[in-house]
Chain A
Amino acid sequence: MTNSTSIVSAFRGGIALAPNKQGLNKPIKTVPLPSELLFNAFEPWVKIGDIVMAGQRIAADTLASTSGCITEIQQYNTCCTIKLIPDGNNTFVPAITKAEHPMAAIEAAELAGLGGAGFSTVKKLLSQQQTQLTTLLINAAECEPMIACDEALMLESSSEIISGISTLMQITACQQCIIAIEDTKLNAINAIKRAIAVHANPKLRLTIVPTRYPGGAETVLLRQLTGANLTKRQHPAEHDMLCFNIATAYSVHHAAAHQPLFGRVVTIAGNAANEPCNVRALFGTPLSHLLKHTNNFPANLPDSDVTIKLGGPLSGQLLKSGVADLPTTAINSNCNAIIIERNNQTIVEKACIRCGDCADVCPESLLPQQLLRYQHSADKLNDYLLPNCIECRCCDLVCPSAIPLTDYFKQSKQALYAQTRLQVDAKLAETRFASRQARLARKAQEREQALLGKKREVATAPKPSTTDIKAALVRAKRLAGNSGSKR
């Protein structure tokens, strides 16, 4: 085999969790085209009744994922939901079909990253055009339990993935590419190895990382591979790296072939899922549609018994109203799994005894017990590096007092963010005020200058003659006499 395979050792912190990938024995399912697609955005760029094409912009950062008609726009306070009825033709906008080179096609399709953060692939690629990077890192670790969408994709479409990676390497002009996969994903490793052998690209390297959560988190993965201590606030480019999810590479392949997917593979799993599986979903597909067509809709369970998470069992977002939220929630680029669980136990949160187990498992080497203690003090939270928290929930998992630490940290982060924004606003207001004061002072000075000039002008002007003055006095007296007689 031409490629080299290397193995890295375990990182600090984290937990060895059972992978529990359920639906991998079946091929990736497809569901019929949904009767309607939902897009959440801040402000619509379309009107009701507009006919849109796939890839057409319908809001600031949202593209229509297929062609159809806008039938409803629901406005809320700060956002809106756009409803699109697909026409079934999937006509692309001309920019996509006529793109001359891969980057243009990717830009036209506004490819979003398919990792957890959903960061725009286009932005990532564009931001790196000036700097020369050495390494392209493809994240195929997929460390979170239950989520298997990337693994399923590697098993079925390894060739397309490698083709997508080659395209990415062309665009970024990287000298090498590292594909990181967890050591328990043996079939995926073999599939990727075979695909690399077929493509015979000597720049591709496979790196086996230990199966340990959260080894696939960008900061943790980079630390494992490079030893560089990168935090969430830094960009991998500082270490001459650019990191993409493996599913993004698959999307790149399709976009470069003028057939962008506007969709992703989603894992459906959990102990209340009837048929755990991986399924292809168009962006905007309501969750209820996906679940119904994969025979996973939790219909025979009372609503209060079911919890549904969008995203993995650890990092996912809980649907607040459970089953009732399914028809109104739609798949977007960073939604990699739907986890349906029966709640069978209620956990009572107890007091923190500061045992420090959380600090032992924290992959970012934070002190969660201190972050919890100082949750109302912004200065302390910054001191203890709260912004570095990657919200992996390892601390929640080991807490003997069952404290949902990450939930508290998310709240604290929001408060911190709001405070920073206030500070930024205050700074802006201050500079605005200062510049206004300066402007007013300048104007006053200018006025004074002008007045002085006038005075000087008057002073230097030739004196009027005495006859003129006398005539003026006579005129004035007459005027005064007239007004006096009137009175």
Chain B
Amino acid sequence: MSLVLHSSKSLTNVMLLVIIALVPGIAAYAWLVSPIVIINIVFCVLIACLTEAACMWLRSRSAVSALRDGSIILAATLLALAVPPQLPFWQLGLGAVAMVVLGKQLYGGLGQNLFNPAMVGFAFLMVSFPQTMTTWIDNMQQSVGMAQLVQAKWFMPSNIQWDSITQATPLESIRLASQYGADQATPLTQAALNRQVTNGPWPIVNLGFLVGGLCLLYKRIISWHIPLSVIFTLFALHGILALTSTQPQIGATLAIASGATMLGAFFIATDPVTAATSNTGRIIYGIGIGGLSFVIRQWGGYPEGFAFAVLLMNMCAPLIDSTVNRHA
């Protein structure tokens, strides 16, 4: 036994394990939605690493040590998973740069940032390019070939008839349906809505991320407090809404199986740097994220409110920490 006893769990190991835990979800995503997500991840990681290295060089710090801890690779992977797969490369690249610079390095690098870097990048893209960020390709392989798609991604989406192959995500349809109700040209029935949600690839993709998240729980990389409170809050609020509303509503079960719920609950909301730190604090933080993302989904201007919910709760985390009990 060495005098310098220390944990076998190093920072790099933690980040690596989280990335490995993402694999089932990524595989489902690539298989069922579009394999282009893998190209997106590689591209986003590359740009993020280059930006990180450049920032560290500007700050006269060791770029190697910053890249070695793997935190930026993880953040870039999460960003690439959160954006629509057909997002043009230049926009994705800009998002990655914003993530590293605005989300992490401006605060002083790892451990210093107030906001979840991946969600800063996502929010940056969402407010800058709302058109491309809210358009999702449904069942891509049938419509357009991989090579054609990659080629198209280098430019502004003009040389492909995007309209013919894209459609709003289920969540977007639901939001529109519940906001405008029967006034819409094609009123959505509950049965059609359910079909739309369950037939799509998203429940399986969410299942993939759930499996990865449970692995993280098992390996004690994350604690149950945040994911459970996020999922439970979403489940409960959507359930109450479905029971009380006359409009067609996404049910409680479908709500947690659609959108980015599992990815968000297990991988994004659990970022320890920006979350509340005591166990009670974590539960409050998770409930906040679940509640806010429900509100934004239901009544806000964006189809998926998870990123904004996370950013808003990031702001509240220090307050939560200083109001709940001061010991574990």
**A-to-B contact residues, CB < 8 Å:** 17-18, 20, 145-146, 270-271, 307, 309, 313-314, 339, 341, 343-345, 347-348, 350-357, 359-360, 362, 364-367, 369-370, 383-385, 396-402
Contact = CB atoms under 8 A, between A and B. Distances in A.
A366 B328 CA distance: 6
Interface residues of B, number: 29
B244 interface: no
A367 B1 contact: no
B273 A367 contact: no
22 contacts: A314-B5, A339-B3, A341-B2, A341-B3, A341-B4, A343-B4, A344-B2, A348-B65, A350-B69, A351-B110, A351-B112, A353-B110, A354-B275, A356-B272, A356-B277, A359-B278, A365-B327, A370-B326, A383-B326, A384-B326, A385-B327, A400-B13
Contacts of A339: 3
Contact of B14 (A146, A365, A400): A400
Contacts of B200: none
Contacts of A353: 11, 14, 71, 110-111, 272-273
Given A355-B272, A359-B277, A401-B11, A347 B326 contact: no
Q: What DSSP secondary structure best describes chain A's contact surface?
A: loop
Given A18-B1, A314-B5, A351-B111, A366 B11 contact: no
Contacts of A401: 11, 111
Given A146-B1, A356-B272, A398 B7 contact: yes
A80 B263 CA distance: 64
A350 B15 CA distance: 14
A362 B327 CA distance: 10
A307 B13 contact: no
Contacts of B328: 356, 359-360, 362, 365-367
Given A313-B5, A402-B6, A367 B272 contact: no
Contacts of A341: 2-4
Nearest to A358: B328
Interface string B104-118: 000001111000000
A366 B3 CA distance: 25
Contacts of A359: 277-278, 328
Contact of B10 (A145, A307, A402): A402
B7 A399 contact: yes
Nearest to A213: B5
A383 B324 CA distance: 12
Interface in B257-281: 272-273, 275, 277-278
